Chains A and B, each alone.
Chain A
Amino acid sequence: MQGYIYPNEYELQWSLLIVLYPYITGLVAGAFILASLERVFNVREVQPTYRLALLTALAFLLVAPLPLQAHLGHPERSYEIFMTPNKQSAMAMFGFVYAWYLMVVLLLEIWFDYRRDMVRWAREARGWRRWLYYGLTLGATDVSERAVAFDESAGRWITIIGIPSAFLLHGYVGFIFGSIKANPWWSSVLMPVVFLFSATVSGIALVLVLYMLSSMFRWRPINMACLEKLSQFLFYALVVDFSLEALDFIHRLYEAEESIEILAQMVESRLFLSLIVLQLLFGTLIPLVLLGAFSPGLRKGGFIRASAELKQLVFLTSAVLIQIGIFSIRWNVVIGGQLFSKSLRGLTVYKVELLGIEGLATTLGLLILPFVILWVLVKILPPWPEEAPGPAPSP
């Protein structure tokens, strides 16, 4: 600790778990927005990743409430958010936004998209799998052309509703921070927007990584047109994200309000590694250069002509660096906002526990869990284009 902090500020309130939560919901929102690119904007090239993106979103969405529950002082009372939500509180909206997104958007969209295949799998399977698939269809086994056309149309409408819902799911997290006037690091109009675009970036990057890894594990060739399109959207999203963060930075320095001194001290001392090195250099600038050079974002075919293998390596590297960068953004926002005192006169430290419910081990476990769930989902509802044809291209 240096300088002066209020006596009650010694203990950081929101820990690594609260860094994890926006990271996870960001991946959900981003993966869904990628899926909606194909469905609503007819970007045919990314069609091979459509179902994978939806299942990824679902796997992460199921894990999303867990870090929050682990962090609460009384998780057994968390139902109160549904029973007596305070309409003035952004956090109270969590329960409803989450429930809406899970039930009305994600589950419904997956259901409509997979229904025809689930009926087929129910008929072909034996034993408990037959009952599983039958149950998942909710008994709606009509696969006539009219019924399937209804699935198509319903899925499209849900995706259209889903895009603003995805914005809301992650944007409200940004609002939770951005609306705290007591904290000058958080209080900003740009916060929900920055959160949202960084979520989009991380979601696209995640699907890119998963698509590449799953193709490699299944010994299938990677569809380069799909990969290049993904990298192109990733590049555009990253440009917007970087511009927003640069705007925030410039605006802060220009206005130089009272908090600028302690915040500058904090960035230079406590956040140097996570902000300057990880978020800025490795997480944003290097991927911008790599993607700008190799993806079709700026010039068709990329600035630098390269073999498919090299491009795959570059895109994979960029996507992984981006994940690190986006996690660092969450760290810098959540932890950074608590490292300086509201007296604007001092800094404190955050010591991450190793074990314990808010520790590193729990966080790693919660990061691995969605991949485990995804593996189960992929087994039950295979998203691969070869095994079950996806939705017919929209007219």
Chain B
Amino acid sequence: MPQQVPRLLAVFAIAAAGLLLARGVLIPDTFGDLGHYRAAAVDSIAARPVKYAGRQVCGACHVDVEAQQVAGNHRGVSCEVCHAPAAWHASDPMSGKPAINRKRDLCVVCHAFNPSRPTGFPQIDSLVHNPRLPCIGCHTPHAPVPPETPRECGACHGGIARQKAVSPHANLECTTCHDAPQAHRDNPRAHRPTKPAERAFCGACHAGMAPEGPIPQIALESHGQPNLCWQCHYPHYPETSR
């Protein structure tokens, strides 16, 4: 055997032995127990401190508030959304009280008007809705209701009102097209407003008037049959053909 071979083999053997020794020393004990990872990591993550106690914990002591809340409009709102994480208080109630922000800037986080919020979510325009007054002056936070029935449709249907306001239909009242009983304002889902059910309704303005007048005219018998008008045109901001 040439002289080179045993010497090279010795070098590689030492390197391999070194690697094996290192593996025995350096690989953590729990590695591979549950998978290709250090199982002890799961334990250390599981042992992290909890900051939010959760509604059930609050309700265990604050029974009356919880009872008020589950019956009201904020039944889905967890205590700690407004009162900040309070696990520290739950584990030692005498050590202090969780903070609460009683100013307007808390409530508007959810309730300021934003067109991207889903339709039907109660929203106000903070600039005009009792400006500068604290919300809790009129609305009890644990079971909020509007202190009086809304006067304008736009109070709840803010998105529609704002779109209509910049559309050709801006000067039409909502009640021009929709019959909205007073009961709708008090119990919206139980008493729904109506929608026009015939083409002739829109035709009252959009057919049979002077063609050169301000209102666009169409031939009612043929235009867009057999659809109802609002099946193609969004009434609150109507599209027009090119």
A residues sitting closer than 8 Å to B (CB atoms) are: 79-80, 82-84, 86, 103, 108, 112, 115, 138-142, 146-147, 150-151, 154
Pick the contact of B2 from A83, A139, A146 — CB < 8 Å?
A: A146
- Asked whether, in the complex, the Cβ of B4 is within 8 Å of the Cβ of A154, the reply is yes
Cβ–Cβ < 8 Å partners of B26 in chain A: 79-80, 83
Q: 9 closest A-B pairs (Cβ-Cβ)?
A: A138-B7, A140-B3, A150-B2, A142-B3, A140-B4, A83-B27, A83-B26, A140-B7, A147-B2
Of A84, A103, A141, A151, chain B has the most CB atoms within 10 Å of the CB of A84
- Asked whether, in the complex, the Cβ of B3 is within 8 Å of the Cβ of A84, the reply is no
Cβ–Cβ < 8 Å partners of A115 in chain B: 4
- Asked whether, in the complex, the Cβ of A84 is within 8 Å of the Cβ of B31, the reply is yes
- Asked whether, in the complex, the Cβ of A147 is within 8 Å of the Cβ of B3, the reply is yes
List 27 A-B residue pairs with CB atoms under 8 Å apart, sorted by A's residue number: A79-B22, A79-B26, A82-B19, A82-B22, A83-B26, A83-B27, A84-B27, A84-B36, A86-B36, A103-B12, A103-B15, A108-B8, A112-B4, A138-B7, A138-B8, A138-B11, A139-B7, A140-B2, A141-B3, A142-B3, A146-B2, A147-B2, A147-B3, A150-B2, A150-B4, A151-B4, A154-B4
Name B's interface SS: helix
Alpha-carbon gap, A150 to B36, bound state (A)? 44
Question: Smallest distance from the beta carbon of B109 to chain A beta carbons, Å?
Answer: 19
Cβ–Cβ < 8 Å partners of A83 in chain B: 22-23, 26-27
Cβ–Cβ < 8 Å partners of B2 in chain A: 140, 142, 146-147, 150
Cβ–Cβ < 8 Å partners of A112 in chain B: 4
Alpha-carbon gap, A280 to B143, bound state (A)? 67
Alpha-carbon gap, A151 to B22, bound state (A)? 33
Query: Could you tell me which residues of chain B, from 15 to 54, have a CB within 8 Å of some CB in chain A?
Result: 15, 19, 22-23, 26-27, 31-32, 36
Contact residues on B (Cβ < 8 Å of other chain), bracket: 10 to 19
B residues sitting closer than 8 Å to A (CB atoms) are: 2-4, 7-8, 11-12, 15, 19, 22-23, 26-27, 31-32, 36
Cβ–Cβ < 8 Å partners of A141 in chain B: 3
- Known pairs A83-B22, A83-B23, A138-B4; list 6 more (Cβ under 8 Å): A79-B22, A79-B26, A82-B22, A115-B4, A141-B3, A151-B4
Alpha-carbon gap, A103 to B13, bound state (A)? 13
Of A86, A115, A138, chain B has the most CB atoms within 10 Å of the CB of A138
Alpha-carbon gap, A208 to B36, bound state (A)? 46
Alpha-carbon gap, A86 to B38, bound state (A)? 12
Alpha-carbon gap, A138 to B11, bound state (A)? 9
Q: Which residue of A lies closest to B28 (CB)?
A: A84
Alpha-carbon gap, A123 to B19, bound state (A)? 35
Cβ–Cβ < 8 Å partners of A103 in chain B: 12, 15
Question: Smallest distance from the beta carbon of B33 to chain A beta carbons, Å?
Answer: 12
Q: Which residue of B lies closest to A112 (CB)?
A: B4
Alpha-carbon gap, A108 to B26, bound state (A)? 29
- Asked whether, in the complex, the Cβ of A147 is within 8 Å of the Cβ of B4, the reply is yes
Question: Smallest distance from the beta carbon of B3 to chain A beta carbons, Å?
Answer: 4
Alpha-carbon gap, A146 to B23, bound state (A)? 40
Alpha-carbon gap, A139 to B5, bound state (A)? 11
Cβ–Cβ < 8 Å partners of A138 in chain B: 4, 7-8, 11
Question: Smallest distance from the beta carbon of B36 to chain A beta carbons, Å?
Answer: 6
Cβ–Cβ < 8 Å partners of B11 in chain A: 138
Cβ–Cβ < 8 Å partners of B4 in chain A: 112, 115, 138, 140, 147, 150-151, 154
Alpha-carbon gap, A150 to B5, bound state (A)? 10
Alpha-carbon gap, A125 to B111, bound state (A)? 88
